[in-house]
Structure 1
Amino acid sequence: MTHPLRIGFIPLVDAAALIVAVDKGFAKDEGLAVELVREVSWSNVRDKLNIGLFEAAHLLAPVAIASSLGLGHVRVPIVAPFNLGINGNAITVSPALHAAIMSELDGDANNPDFANPMATAQALNRVVVARARAGADPLTFGMTFPFSTHNYQLRFWMAAGGVDPDEDVRLVVLPPPYMVDSLANGHVDAFCVGAPWNSVAVDLGIGHILHFASDILQRAAEKVLGIRQVWAEKNPEIVVALTRAHVKAAAFIEAPENRGEVTAILARPERIGVSPEVLQRTLDGKLKISPDGTWRESNRYLLVGREDAGRPDPRQAAWLYAQMVRWGQTAISPEALAIAESVFRPDLYDAAIGKSGGGDDHAGDPVGAFAGPAFDPAKIETHLAAFEIAYPKS
């Protein structure tokens, strides 16, 4: 028997496992007939998933948590049996802002401080102060959604350097495909978004990639395969089959010999719709970061399947919940933390791959932020108390 499914996605490289699972036939092999629906905005994806127009979705990890807590919208519990991507974002700035930050770092691209997020955050703070003294408008940064890792990564970076993201700059929500045009038109001075849109801005000569998000957080759950909890409980075999198809697709993507075929699939207009060469850079972690041809390589830029990236880690959910608390999106409570952690379902992932026994395979700090204390989900209040800039203010 074949099970028909409609799944929504945004044209981003971290939808690769979903797209490849369908277009390479891994889902079909599991008895699933999946129709992929390309969307523009995260609110569209969330709303269509919540009301049942989609059985599953390529979803921002924090949206899955916010939906389960009823934050910013109606409460619809979501489960995530598979991580579609770990990391994958970058902060891209306009040539003017890049020059201003460079000037604060003595204008030397070889200065080791230029790759140090604390140094650039402090340089940004000096730029912000100088603009305020001159009576200039606040800088505007684009991010994809209030409940997004992009939002929290921008805020974490800025605040570490003394910039209050709610008082010193403007943060605006833009759909990922619109980021580049907004930078080109001067509507924003910078943005944080997932691949491939940072690379597109660099190739057009209108942006410089200032930081990979993995500079800010070594390991951050970015997108998940989101499924309504009620539907998942009624269709456990389909959930396992869909998860297994994604595990197979992720392994296929991570094999270097398959990259040519993978990028050709992703480049199709109805999928991501950018050149295979740009997609290849993303998957290889070798990105041009400046219009002058400067390149940077990182094996942590985007993890699709390697390093156990597909297996959901509830501690990652706890960190995302802690950011919601830090930035005043919700109040802290043990009950809410438990709900947040329950969204990430390693048990469903383990069932799909035939693993028994469960357990936590990760040790130490699950996030690895560049500033502040190590994160412990059991001590969120103590953790947040270490940060000077947070909401509500004391």
Structure 2
Amino acid sequence: MTVERFRIGFLPLVDAALPILAHELGFAAKEGLELELVRDMTWATVRDRLLYGHTDAAHMIAPLAIATALGRDRPAVRIAVPFVLGLNGNAVTFSTALARNVGLGETLGDPAEIGAALQSVAAARKAAGKPLRFGVVHRYSSHNYMLRYWLAGVGIRPDTDIEIVVTSPPFAADALAAGEVDGICVGEPWNSIAVDRGVGQIALATAQIWRRGVEKVLAMRHDVAESRRDAVEALVRTLHRAAEQFVEADAAEECAKILARQEYLDAPRDAILRAITDRIRVTPGGEPIHYPDFMFQYREAANFPWRSQAAWLYSQMIRWDSNRFSDADAATAAAVFRPDIYRTALTGTGAPLPGASSKLEGGLEEPIGAGSVQGRLVLGSDRFFDGRAFDPDDIQGYLAGLD
């Protein structure tokens, strides 16, 4: 058997689990693949390695893949996303001082109520000439857009009432401890580490802002996806098998032990295990609480690259970058997500395959059966906290309805 090799870039986050486990648990080898994992500390470096051919694929924040294809901040390069590595899994964490000022409790609160309390603190800090500052992992990240969506929805104007800056995930807890930021929106285990160090308190899970919101993806250059199509499809199957294993309850301990290793997350095993098992320690020293589907890696075709999710991310770029809507750019953004590769790769495996490539986002309150070309597909609630829904065929109408 000819061995196909992939170098895959990643950041030390729990949602980098699937390529790591595909390598460590032998799923890649069974597909005739050899994976080399390349650890970095910033998303900009992950992107640059990918673009300059130092890696073949990358664990990447979904908006950055789209921004790269659109030429935001750099010349455009066509990107393909054939697989979603996970939904949600992030949190908004306040410094302990801000948590006291806002009056956070010992569990996850209501987004609207926390927002109303935060609005008062933000107004006072702005009047005193020391506006609140929140850290996100990249300008083009779901963390940035989720945070902004929530803030704007509760009456806080990002960039006017508060400041938003970039901080690398592994240094987010340090930024809180140093007083450089008053809050962070970051992936696990870095929220939990901030709590365990006594420098932060988790206010919200991003799943409370947008349930089933797209998070990390497998990204690669378009030319790699096309020229190595068979190998890429094998990689999709490999990651799908790793996802199936990852969500097995009796696999959690082993997965956490692997991810905690120095070459991967280099983080406490217990903090990783809590994230994998949907348990969140909200306050320093507190007992972890169970929040179902805090991370979402497998069920309900979670790994399917819905083009409507790419379209929502594009709508947020328009909203916050003050760019004009463009039909051509909207099409480019949606085309980054490649459901065609996903379907071809998993045909005949028994995995549920959606019949559509796009859907209304935020329209489901209760689980509902969905059309599929293979397997039985049930989609769960995907609500936005403010009850809005996003129609990917009417991005301009959606934006006109936002403040």
Question: Does TM-score exceed 0.5, indicating one fold?
Answer: yes
Helix, strand or coil at the partner of 2:38: strand
**Corresponding residue for residue 310 of structure 1:** 303
- 1:201 equivalent in alignment to 2:200: no
- 1:21 equivalent in alignment to 2:17: no
Task: Give how far 1:362 is off.
Answer: 7.8
Cα 1:357/1:209, change in 2 over 3 Å: closer
Corresponding pairs, count? 380
Letter in 2 for 1:57: A
- 1:343 equivalent in alignment to 2:336: yes
**Corresponding residue for residue 372 of structure 2:** none
Cα 1:97/1:330, change in 2 over 3 Å: same
Q: What aligned pairs does 1:148-297 form with structure 2 within 5 A after superposition?
A: 148-297=141-290
Letter in 2 for 1:141: F
Task: Give how far 1:305 is off.
Answer: 1.3
Query: CA separation in 2, counterparts of 1:3 and 1:227?
Result: 15
Helix, strand or coil at the partner of 2:393: helix
Task: Give how far 1:354 is off.
Answer: 1.3
Task: Give how far 1:372 is off.
Answer: 5.4
Query: CA separation in 2, counterparts of 1:239 and 1:132?
Result: 50
**Corresponding residue for residue 56 of structure 2:** 55
Query: CA separation in 2, counterparts of 1:294 and 1:322?
Result: 38
Letter in 2 for 1:14: D
- 1:129 equivalent in alignment to 2:144: no
Helix, strand or coil at the partner of 1:308: coil
Q: Structure 2, unaligned stretches of length 5 or more?
A: 363-381
Structure with more helix by fraction: 1
Task: Give how far 1:357 is off.
Answer: 8.0
Moved more, 347-356 or 9-18: 347-356
**Corresponding residue for residue 44 of structure 1:** 45
User: Please, what TM-score do these two structures have when normalized by structure 1?
Assistant: 0.93
In the alignment, is the contact (CA less than 8 A) between 1:372 and 1:386 conserved in 2? no
Letter in 2 for 1:75: A
User: Please, what TM-score do these two structures have when normalized by structure 2?
Assistant: 0.91
In the alignment, is the contact (CA less than 8 A) between 1:347 and 1:358 conserved in 2? no
Letter in 2 for 1:77: R
Query: CA separation in 2, counterparts of 1:58 and 1:296?
Result: 28
* 1:15-42 Cα distance to aligned partner (Å, 9 max, x none): 0011101111111211111110100000
**Corresponding residue for residue 74 of structure 1:** 75
Moved more, 48-57 or 300-309: 300-309
Task: Give how far 1:329 is off.
Answer: 5.4
* 1:131-153 Cα distance to aligned partner (Å, 9 max, x none): 233x2411110000000000001
- 1:375 equivalent in alignment to 2:371: no
Moved more, 354-363 or 201-210: 354-363
In the alignment, is the contact (CA less than 8 A) between 1:80 and 1:345 conserved in 2? yes
Aligned-residue RMSD, C-alpha = 1.7
Letter in 1 for 2:112: M
Task: Give how far 1:330 is off.
Answer: 3.4
Helix, strand or coil at the partner of 2:215: strand
Task: Give how far 1:124 is off.
Answer: 1.1
Match of residue 355, structure 2, among 334, 356, 359? 359
Task: Give how far 1:4 is off.
Answer: 2.0
Cα 1:278/1:171, change in 2 over 3 Å: same
Task: Give how far 1:108 is off.
Answer: 5.7
Q: Which structure ranks higher in relative contact order (CA pairs < 8 Å, sequence separation ≥ 6)?
A: 1
In the alignment, is the contact (CA less than 8 A) between 1:2 and 1:31 conserved in 2? yes
**Corresponding residue for residue 392 of structure 1:** none
* 1:68-104 Cα distance to aligned partner (Å, 9 max, x none): 11112221111111111100110000011001111xx
Cα 1:109/1:24, change in 2 over 3 Å: closer
Letter in 2 for 1:86: L
Cα 1:194/1:81, change in 2 over 3 Å: same
In the alignment, is the contact (CA less than 8 A) between 2:308 and 2:358 conserved in 1? no
* 1:334-382 Cα distance to aligned partner (Å, 9 max, x none): 1111111111112211111115986228864345211152111111111
Moved more, 235-244 or 301-310: 301-310
Cα 1:4/1:157, change in 2 over 3 Å: same
Cα 1:203/1:136, change in 2 over 3 Å: same
Cα 1:80/1:126, change in 2 over 3 Å: same
Q: Structure 1, unaligned stretches of length 5 or more?
A: 389-394
In the alignment, is the contact (CA less than 8 A) between 1:208 and 1:291 conserved in 2? yes
Task: Give how far 1:116 is off.
Answer: 1.2
Query: CA separation in 1, counterparts of 2:334 and 2:385?
Result: 23
Helix, strand or coil at the partner of 1:221: coil
Task: Give how far 1:311 is off.
Answer: 1.1
Cα 1:232/1:295, change in 2 over 3 Å: same
